[in-house]
Structure formats: C-alpha cells, structure tokens
Structure 1
Amino acid sequence: MSLFGRIFLLNAVALVAAAALLVLGPLTVSTPALLTEILVLTAGLAVLLMANAALIRLGLAPLERLTRAMTTIDLLKPGPRLTASGHGEIADLITTFNGMLDRLETERGFSSARALSAQEAERRRVAQELHDEVGQSLTAVLLELKRVADHAPAPVRDELPQVQETVRSTLDEVRRIARRLRPGVLEELGLVSALKALVAEISEHADVVVRRTFDRHLPELDKETELVVYRVAQEGLTNTVRHSGAHQVELLLRATSAGVELCVRDDGWGMGDAAEGSGIRGMRERALLVGAELTVGPAPRQGTEVRLVVQAGERR
C-alpha cells in the first residue's frame, strides 16, 4: 500500500471508531462538556496524533535518507547505493534515484575521458612546439650570441656571457616545462623511470627532500593506467611543494594483491578544513577513468597523504 493509502486508512479507521463510539456507545458530550468527557476526547485525540506521527515518521524515513544522499552525493567519490526500502512509490523513487546515479556516473566517465584525452593531446602538441619551435629558436640565439662574442669589442664581449647564461637558463626552463607537459620518459622507459626523473626534477628545483621507495617487481599496467599513476604522483608532489610547507615528502610505489598502490605522503600543514581544489578533483577524475580508488586525507602523523590503488591486468 502506498504512503498516502496507509495514512488515509489510519485516519479513516480512527475517525470511524470515534464516530461509532459516539453513536452506538454510551459516550455522550454534554453542553457544556463535563470534565470526564473532555479527558476522554483529549486522550482519544492524543492517541490519534501519536499514531499518525509514528506512521508518518516510519513511512518518511527512507525519504530522509534519500534527501541526505542527494545533498552529499559526489560523482567523483562513488559509494554504495541506497537500499530500496519502504513501500510503494518510496521504494520506486529510491530505485529511480540509484538508476539516475548510475547513468550520471557513466556519462561523466565518458565526458571526462574525452576531456582528459583532449587535454593530453593538447599537452603533447604544446610540448612539441616548445621543443621544436621555441627550443630551436633559443638554441639559434645562443649560437648567434657566441658568434657575436667572438667578434665583438672587449667592452661588449664582457657583457655577453651574462646574456648567454640568461638565454641558456630560459632554454633549460622551456625544456623542463615540455617534459612536464609530455613525459617522454614514461613512453620510452616506463613508469618507474618516469617517476625517478620526476623526483629528481622536484628535488632539483624545490626546497624539499623527496624519498622514494619502489618495489622491484611490479605488475604490468597498460599505458593509460601508467599515465594516470604518473599524473597523480606529479600533481601530489606539485601540491606538496606549492601548498603544504613540508620539509620531507615520501613517494611509494608498491605491488598489492590486486595491482599497484601509489602513495604520496608529506609532513606539511595538512589540508585542515579547506575544500578540495581543482588539482585533487582532477586526480579523482583520472582515477575514475581506470577504475582506481583514490583517497586524499591526513597522513598517519601529520601532513597530507594521497593514496591511489589501481587494478593490474583487465580493467574493472
């Protein structure tokens, strides 16, 4: 029976019983009403109100759970679906809501995959242009400066080394940006070598000590999953350097019974009550693409911990 039917039936039974007692029973109401009559009517009204309250609370409890789920649901953090409890249209409503979540998560997965694929393609294009166009132009400038220095008078020749050093530093920075945009080491030498190169680069340009621990025997991952692991490690280390105030950060890559686990743990200030930024949400989107589980929270002692667990072999 539907919620409306149950409430209507309870009220109908209560009103019919009250009418029957007044018509067929010895109960009467005097004018003015006697104290005993007032007490009997008050008690009957209280019983009717309590019965209605109990039935409504019991019937609306699944709707309260559904309301809480609607206000707290996050498509980047998939969780268990609501149990279709209740009767009639309430169970149908919860089932429909669960189906809507399934469709939304599927559609978001497809749209995120297309967006991230386009993003990676754009990164490759920009990195290629930086390497081929800007890098070659700066290299030509360095060669021209060397030629000018060889024929320049002494006062000018003394100033050219500083200009050459500036151009050389700019060329190194352009190459570093190109490597971050398109991790060629990942494509050529694999995940572990790419992470080692990333750690070396972070250690060279940031005032933070990076300790890395990689298992020797890791299960094989497909190219897309390796890219997700690399990007999550890159974003985690970048967030640590920029925002955490940490002195040390630990990068772990180890094999699990089902696949591979990546952990980035620092000793910084931690996240506190701050909302997740675009970097963390980007990591969650990447994790969803390969069916991985991503958790971001406080480290065991202090700081922040980013943990990614991916499945090896056939993707979920």
Structure 2
Amino acid sequence: MTLFWRIFSLNAAVLAVATVGLLLGPVTVSTPVVLTEAVVLIGGLAAMLVANAVLLRIGLAPLARLTRTMTTIDLLKPGTRLPVTGRAGIAALIRAFNAMLDRLETERATSAARALSAQEAERKRVAQELHDEIGQTLTAVLLELKRVADQSPPPVRDQLRQVQETTRNSLDEIRRIARRLRPGVLEELGLTSALRALTTEFSTAGLAVQRQIGPDLPTLSEDVELVLYRVAQEGLTNVARHADARHAALILRREGDGVELRIRDDGRGVGTASEGAGIHGMRERALLIGAALTVAPGPEGGTDVSLRVTR
C-alpha cells in the first residue's frame, strides 16, 4: 500500500468510527443545540483529531528521520545510513536514499581522486620549475654579484654584499616552497624522514613541535604515505596559523594492521567554528585511502586531529 492510501485509510477509519458512533449512539442534535449535546460533539471531534494525529505521527515517523538525515548528511563523513523501517512506500524511499548515498560517495571519492592526482602533478611541475629555473637563475645572480663585489670599491662592495644576502634568503625561501609543494625527501628517504623534516621546519619561534614515530610501522603504499604526509602538513599549518599554540605533537604509531596519525596542540581549540578548507582537504584525502579522520577537542584543551588508516 502506498503512502497516499495508507494516510487515506487512516483518516477513513477514524471518520467511519465516528459516523458509526453517531448512528448507533444515543446522541442527538436539537435545534437550537443543547449545551450537553455541544459538549459531546466537541469531545468526539477532539478524540478524532487526537487519534488521527497519533496514527499519522506513527506512520510518518520514518519520514521524519529521513528528513533529519538529509539535512545533516555530509559526504566527507561517509557511512551514515538509515535503517530501513516502515512499510511499502516509506521503506522503498529509505532504500532509495541509502542507495543514492552509496552512489554519491563513490562518485565523490572518484572525482576527488582525479582532482587530487591532478593537484599533485601540478605541485610537482611547479616545484620542478621553481627549483630548476628560478633557483638556477638566482644562483647565477649570486655568482655574478660575488664577482662584481670582489671587483668593486669598499662602499659599493658592502651594498652588494647586502644584495647578495637578500638574494640568498630569497633562494632559500624558494627552495623551502618547492620542498613543501613536492617533498623530495618523502620519495627518496620515506615517510619517517619526511615527517622528521616537517616537524623540524615547523619548530619555529613560538611553536615547539614534538614527534613520536613508532619503530614498528607496517609497509605502506605510496598513496597512503603521501596522504599521511599531506594531512600532517596541513594539520601543522593550521596549528601554526590559527591555533595560537605554544606546543604541538605529531604522533605516528602502528594500530593493528594499519597506522594512526595524531596531531595535538595546546591552542584555543576548534570551538564552534565551522570547518575550513584545510580540514575539508584533509577529509577528501582521507577518503582516497578509505581512512577515518576525526577533528575534536584535545583531552587537555587544544585540538586533536586523528587519521586512522586500516589495511
């Protein structure tokens, strides 16, 4: 029976019972209406309305759950499904909604994988150009400045030395940007060395980053290592930019057959602010490898970001 006929049947049943009660009962209506008759009619009407409301609430309860789920669903937090309850049309609607979520999550994961793959390729290209072209150009400028400075009188030589120092700082900054765009240490020395270099880079004035990397980590694929590195990078970037923290910790340890990455800080915490692009990016990367990402307040304040990867 469809939802329409179910609601129609409920209303028809209530009206039929009321009609039979009027026909077979001792109640009559006078002209003008007597007070006792009015009280009986109003009481009967109230009873019909209450019975109708209760029956409809029971019958439409699965639709209310479906509505709440539809307004709060987040494809970046997969796995939310409604239990198939109710009859006929309502059960079919819930099954169709769950199937739609399956399809949307699959399509989003596929499109996100293509987008992030293209993003990594673009990062690699830009990093290569920064290193090979701009880096080499600045290196040539440094050599030329040194040659000119060696042949210049002392006042000009001092100014050229300052220009050399500024150019050298710019070259170091370009190399740092290139490393962040495409960490060569990750490809050459592995995840552990890359995370050590990352924590050292973020251990700047005002922020101390501790690391705890387990010695018994399982063998991980290149995609998993890249996602772990990018999540750690984004997590520490958020700490440095937004958390107002003095201490942070990066923890990578074995958990069963998989690994868990945690980034904790003693900053101001997430509060009631909505998730920004950085956390959304981490969630999309987690979906690529079927990992679970949680962002929650830390046990002693601050923020606790956890990425669990299962094999």
Superposition pairs for residues 71-110 of structure 1, below 5 Å?
Answer: 71-110=71-110
Alignment-derived partner of residue 218 in structure 1: 217
Aligned length: 311
Cα deviation code 1:94-115 (max 9, x no counterpart): 1111111111111111110011
Q: Are the counterparts in 2 of residues 265 and 299 from structure 1 also a CA contact under 8 Å?
A: yes
Q: Residue type of the partner of 1:162?
A: Q
Provide the TM-score with structure 2 as the length reference. Answer: 0.96
Identify which range, 261-270 or 45-54, moves more after superposition.
Answer: 45-54
Please provide the CA RMSD for this pair.
1.4
Change (3 A) 1:70 1:148: same
Identify which range, 248-257 or 20-29, moves more after superposition.
Answer: 20-29
Identify which range, 179-188 or 156-165, moves more after superposition.
Answer: 156-165
Structure 1 residue 4 corresponds to structure 2 residue 30: no
Q: Are the counterparts in 2 of residues 206 and 241 from structure 1 also a CA contact under 8 Å?
A: no
Alignment-derived partner of residue 248 in structure 2: 249
Q: Distance in 2 between matches of 1:43 and 1:26?
A: 15
Alignment-derived partner of residue 264 in structure 1: 263
Q: Identity, % of aligned pairs?
A: 66
Q: Are the counterparts in 2 of residues 298 and 305 from structure 1 also a CA contact under 8 Å?
A: yes
Q: Distance in 1 between matches of 2:131 and 2:158?
A: 30
Alignment-derived partner of residue 236 in structure 2: 237
Alignment-derived partner of residue 274 in structure 1: 273
Q: Residue type of the partner of 2:184?
A: G
Alignment-derived partner of residue 195 in structure 1: 195
Structure 2 residue matching 1:180: 3-state secondary structure: helix
Q: Distance in 2 between matches of 1:76 and 1:231?
A: 17
Alignment-derived partner of residue 164 in structure 1: 164
Identify which range, 4-13 or 242-251, moves more after superposition.
Answer: 4-13
Change (3 A) 1:208 1:5: same
Q: Residue type of the partner of 2:295?
A: V
TM-aligned CA deviation for residue 48 of structure 1:
1.1
TM-aligned CA deviation for residue 38 of structure 1:
2.2
Provide the TM-score with structure 1 as the length reference. Answer: 0.94
Q: Residue type of the partner of 2:194?
A: A
Identify which range, 118-127 or 205-214, moves more after superposition.
Answer: 205-214
Q: Are the counterparts in 2 of residues 7 and 52 from structure 1 also a CA contact under 8 Å?
A: no
Change (3 A) 1:20 1:296: closer
Q: Distance in 2 between matches of 1:181 and 1:293?
A: 24
* Consecutive unaligned residues in structure 2, runs of 5 or more: none
Cα deviation code 1:131-189 (max 9, x no counterpart): 00011001000110111112112221122111111111111111110000001111111
Identify which range, 97-106 or 6-15, moves more after superposition.
Answer: 6-15
